[in-house]
Chains A and B, each alone.
Chain A
Amino acid sequence: MMSAELKGSLNALIAPIGAIVLTMLLGFILVAAISDEPVLAYRELMFANFDSLSNFAMFLNRATPLVLISVGITFAFRAGVFNVGGEGQLFAGAITTTVVGIAFATLPAMILFPFAVISGIAAGAAVGWVPGILKVKLGVDEVVVTLMLNTIVLLFTSYLVNQVIRDTTAYGAVSWELPEHIWLPSIPGIPDATSGFMIAVVLSLASWVVLFRTQWGAEVRSSGTNLRYAEAVGIAAGKRVITAMLIAGGFAGFAGSLYVLGIGHRFEQNFSPEYGLIALTCALLARVNPIASLFTALYYALMLNGAAYMQISTEVPRSLVILLTGLLVLLMTARLARKDTNTQTFDAF
């Protein structure tokens, strides 16, 4: 019994790791073809993040939103909603926290901080709620709705940051800085690393417990596997699906909120290198498991930041990483589906 279970979880590990290794190999061939120093390039890509404390802090900062969004997406996926809207939910959270923080800057931190965070989470959750309710009530395709909502939210934030709360002394589309007394402190011992990272780690562990060790989590998962069956055995499946989308949106909104409070200290229109899409990749690569998502998000943060170091020292273009990400997504899904044709959760599309 035990060995069968062990074998199962080993198998679950082999496919994604195989995809990662294969991608890195292909990437190495590509780098070797265009650069004289492929080994140096790859060293920079993988390990430059640990060269100094400040590099490490930047790595943690990069990972924080990724962890939060991908853990949130886990809830949506487990409930059978293909939530591509992480980006929009993230932006909604970030802009709301910024607007609240700037508008009520005079309030004491004790009140303003929770107010700003909660409104950020609520905004993200609201953006997640729309596709959820449309899917449950009317069967509207959630992929399209979330994709469209991403663009709508991004345009709306662009309006706010350009026309309403723009810092007129700064260059580019950025908002006024948030009042300093609600900034999130950094992790003790690592200056400039946001303590939001620790929150993200705790939340990913807690999410695993909620999804896999509580009755509510089991109900969400069964609603995702088979909505009709779940309803037939007396689960309020539609409600569970909508709640899962609220949580997914809330997590992404929280990520945006923590970003402006802990890292950016203001809203920047281009603060996200497609965090939403990358987090989706992380969640899939982790086979929709919150704890595994933590590690895949760390891996991606490593790659994203490493690419910048790589470009500086070897002139290998940074966009290599986007290319590799795309490759990884393709290889991963292809392998995943071939290995176990019975357990594809997302083959419906």
Chain B
Amino acid sequence: MITLRANILNVAVEGMMLVSAFSAIAVGSVSGSALAGFSAGIFGAVITSLVFSIITLRFGAGFIVAGLGINLLAAGGTLFALERWYNSPGGLRPLGFPEIWYVPEGSLSFVPFLGSVLEGQSIIVLLTFLAVPACWIFLYRTPTGSYLRAAGEDENAARSAGINVVRMKMLAVTISGLLSGLAGAQLAMNKLHFFLPNMTAGRGFIGLAATLFGAGHPWATSGAAVLFGFFGALGDRLQAFDIPAQFVLMLPYLVAILALTFSRWRIYVRNKPAKL
């Protein structure tokens, strides 16, 4: 999301999530510490995002192609590691994985409604809720944030104003790596405690759609993401009824296309020259 503001379509979040999920589980199971696993997850994703930004910004590779390449690399690399070191191409399920911290009951009772929802969720969920306003503050209320947006809006203008565009873009990709690391760690560590090849299952792409849907604005984007997440969860529930699961699973993607089309259509109508 941050990356979009720097005018980068970050397709690589999928790969970053995967790397994060894998390293979180691998390190967590070896060290027996949830904190170590969690930090390894974040670390893995940030490293991946650094590779991504070096390749694209230093060597000028196209963002989409390089992003797809990163995704392939992540999928292949994690699968390769699974087959090689754990001898189980089906997935990695360590015995006795340490629990991550959950928000203890009653600790958030001073927050109306939301507090009781968050209780019992993993600490990562809480972090996510904090990340949204943090992003907003960063993008709109700090000098660095506004440089970053400027670099995305008009590269040349920003450069002539003395902003280091490459550094800004790098920062954007790294932050996005950090956040997708959170996502990957949550996916693997919360309740499941295992890693499956391709377990991210397109979540990165849905996130991308949410970003475009929210036009790169933190609040709108997280709103869209919650909506898509709702559709995903709805899909899991509706499978119990007669509606084929596949149709329900399609919903977030369909909504994404329609929403994108609609938002572009509105701009198109607005910009149409008035009739004389």
Interface residues, chain A, CB within 8 Å of chain B? Answer: 34, 82, 84, 134, 137-141, 143-145, 147-149, 151-152, 155-156, 158-159, 162-163, 277, 280, 284, 317-330, 333-338, 341, 344, 346-347, 349
Contact = CB atoms under 8 A, between A and B. Distances in A.
B244 A326 contact: no
A284 B212 contact: no
B80 A349 contact: no
Contact of A148 (B62, B63, B257): B257
B79 A322 contact: yes
Contacts of B64: 82, 84, 143, 346, 349
Interface residues of B, number: 46
27 contacts: A34-B84, A84-B64, A134-B261, A134-B264, A137-B268, A139-B268, A143-B64, A144-B209, A144-B257, A145-B260, A151-B202, A317-B80, A321-B76, A323-B79, A326-B72, A326-B75, A326-B77, A329-B66, A333-B61, A333-B62, A334-B59, A334-B66, A335-B59, A337-B59, A338-B60, A344-B60, A347-B60
Contacts of A148: 205, 209, 253-254, 256-257
Contacts of B250: 151-152, 155-156
B76 A337 contact: no
A317 B84 CA distance: 7
A323 B61 contact: no
A326 B257 contact: no
B247 interface: yes
In order of increasing CB-CB distance, the 6 nearest A-B pairs are: A322-B76, A326-B73, A329-B69, A323-B76, A326-B72, A317-B83
Interface of B: 9, 11, 55, 59-66, 68-77, 79-80, 82-84, 89, 202, 205, 208-209, 212, 244, 246-247, 249-250, 253-254, 256-257, 260-261, 264-265, 268
Contacts of B68: 84, 277, 280, 329
A89 to B, nearest CB: 15
Contacts of B246: 155-156, 158-159, 162
Nearest to B257: A148
Contacts of B11: 143
A149 B258 CA distance: 11
A123 to B, nearest CB: 17
Nearest to A337: B60
B60 A319 contact: no
A147 B69 contact: no
A174 B265 CA distance: 40
Nearest to B269: A138
A335 B66 CA distance: 12
B142 to A, nearest CB: 27
Given A152-B254, A322-B75, A325-B72, A347 B261 contact: no
A159 B261 contact: no
Nearest to B253: A148
Given A323-B79, A336-B61, 12 more contacts: A141-B9, A141-B260, A147-B205, A155-B247, A319-B83, A323-B76, A325-B76, A326-B75, A326-B77, A333-B66, A338-B59, A344-B60
Contact of B261 (A138, A318, A346): A138
A334 B65 CA distance: 10
B97 to A, nearest CB: 24
Nearest to B62: A346
Contacts of A159: 244, 246-247
A152 B253 contact: yes
Given A152-B250, A322-B79, A330 B66 contact: yes
Contacts of A34: 84
Nearest to A153: B250
Contacts of A327: 69, 73
A144 B261 contact: no
A335 B77 CA distance: 22
Contacts of B9: 141, 143-144, 349
A344 B72 contact: no
B61 A319 contact: no
A307 to B, nearest CB: 11
A166 B81 CA distance: 35
B76 A163 contact: no
A330 B205 contact: no
A144 B66 contact: no
A87 to B, nearest CB: 12
A3 B63 CA distance: 34
Nearest to A156: B246
A149 B244 CA distance: 18
Contacts of A335: 59
Given A141-B260, A329-B72, A151 B268 contact: no
A319 B76 contact: yes
A227 to B, nearest CB: 16
A330 B61 contact: yes
Contacts of A139: 264, 268
Q: Considering residues A139, A156, A159, A317, which has the most beta carbons from chain B within 10 angstroms of its beta carbon?
A: A317
Nearest to A347: B62
A333 B69 contact: yes
A80 B72 CA distance: 24
Contact of B253 (A141, A151, A317, A320): A151
